[in-house]
Amino acid sequence: MLLHQRIYAWMQANPFKVDLAGAVLATLVFAFPFLLGGSGSLVEFALSAAITMPLAWRRTRPVPAAAVQAAACLIQLPAVPVTGLFADIFVLPMVYALAAYAPRWASLAGLLLAMVGGVLFVLQYFFLPSLQGGALTMQLGGTAIAVYLVGIVSIEAIVLVCWTLGDLARTRRLAMESLRDRARRLEVERQQERDLAAADERTHIAREMHDIVAHSLSVIITQADGARYASAANPDIAVSTLGTIAETGRGSLREMRRLLGVLRGDEHSSTRPLPTLADVGDLVEGVKRAGLDVQVRTAGSMRRALPAGAELTAYRVMQESLTNVLKHAGPQARAWMDLEWTPRGLALTVQDDGRGAGADQSPAAASSLPDGLASQTAGPGQGINGMRERLALYDGTLEASPVPGGGFRVAAFIPYTEA
């Protein structure tokens, strides 16, 4: 940064120090010379100092500073009736400061008082001496009165120009403060939007992770528990069961790699399409291989295609519902899944005849879960909340409740997105 730039930056950061230095310099030049004239000049020195020193507070305390200066100027009229004071010129910077930094009422009052003071200055030090000396009487036919009027108008014009410049500076300062305040508010709003977007993305990722991991682990745990007991009587069962476990694990691993690749922004990651309603058959077959008897019924025909996100939501709802049946319905449970296309949208229903979602999970299954995940998959709350959040994005609804006589029922509805 150049020297003049550093000086300007320091002056902007320290306005009171700059004003104080200017006031001291003005006092040294316009007030202290009166001390050299003897004791008779003490009044001139005091009044000049009272006019110049308030300039130090012209920006920080403009109203009290202007009041002190105005009082000194008024006292000057009877106290220094002949010569006046050179320090009177500093009334103009005070008028500018009042217009730029003081409240509006003080700005207008200062302008009026300065204009009245200009008239009194001309009358006191020019008009009255001429009148007392008889010069005005001799020159009545001349230009004396016109000269005094021109002087008054000139002083008032200078005062008005100083006030106008200060008012323009005030307008610019307020505009800059408004822009800075708006910039701060926009930055806060942008930060809030980023936080909300990050929270929404974390929720989305948590739903995807839960759907992928919970379903796969439920199938794997169910198969492992079944194979452990059945293989004692028939070892051949373990071979097919381990194959199902391996296939389910590979599918879950592919889904996790795809999700992590998207999070990393990896261009070379898998771009395999997300599951849609066309993949429901594979989902049901996987659940059947896990040992759950599932019957699928489809009714009606779609009036228009659902968005890709809505189809993914429908798939995840069915996946989570069947996963909960695997975890909570108990052995020998059966499930029914209905897909009905209505004029308004798609209605999904998944119901089982097991012991209900409130039953505890088997100790063997619970002990097989990794630390930190058991609390998420031990009950239906996490999955149901995720389904409800997914459906809310597409104005869908969800009802999940136990069925009288045993079992659990999940009913979801996804409406068409009307243009």
Rounded-to-integer distance, Cα 353 and Cα 335, Å: 7
**Residue 341: beta bridge partners?**
346
Centroid of chain to Cα 325: 43
Residue 84 Rama label (left phi>0; alpha psi -120 to 50; beta):
left
User: Which regions of 259-407 does DSSP assign to beta strands (E)?
Assistant: 293-299, 334-341, 345-352, 397-402
User: What's the token pair of residue 90?
Assistant: 């500093």
CATH code assigned to 190-415: 3.30.565.10
User: What's the token pair of residue 23?
Assistant: 């006031």
For residue 358, name the pLDDT band (cuts at 50, 70, 90). very low
Closest CA to 301 of 349, 337, 338, 339: 339
Q: What is the mean pLDDT of the chain?
A: 80
Q: What is the CA radius of gyration of the chain?
A: 44
For residue 203, name the pLDDT band (cuts at 50, 70, 90). confident
**Does residue 75 contact residue 67 with C-beta atoms inside 8 Å?**
no
Distances (CA, A) of 355 to 222, 286, 330: 16, 22, 6
Centroid of chain to Cα 51: 48
Structure letter (DSSP) for residue 378 = S
- Please give the pLDDT value at position 200: 76
Task: Give the number of other CB atoms < 10 A from CB of residue 361.
Answer: 18
Q: What are the sequence ranges of the domains in the chain?
A: 3-142, 190-415
Rounded-to-integer distance, Cα 211 and Cα 330, Å: 20
Rounded-to-integer distance, Cα 246 and Cα 367, Å: 20
User: Per mean pLDDT, which of 137-141, 282-286, 396-400 is the most reliable?
Assistant: 396-400
User: Which regions of 155-232 does DSSP assign to beta strands (E)?
Assistant: none
Q: What is the mean pLDDT of residues 147-151?
A: 84
Task: Give the number of other CB atoms < 10 A from CB of residue 249.
Answer: 14
Count the alpha carbons within 13 Å of 37 in the hemisphere toward its beta carbon.
10
- Please give the pLDDT value at position 277: 87
Q: What is the mean pLDDT of residues 13-25?
A: 90
Rounded-to-integer distance, Cα 100 and Cα 83, Å: 31
User: What's the token pair of residue 54?
Assistant: 């308030």
- Please give the pLDDT value at position 138: 47
Q: What is the mean pLDDT of residues 238-248?
A: 72
In tens, the pLDDT along 297-327 reads 999 888 888 888 888 889 889 988 888 888 8
Q: What is the mean pLDDT of residues 235-256?
A: 71
In tens, the pLDDT along 54-73 reads 999 999 999 999 999 999 99
Higher pLDDT, 194 or 144: 194
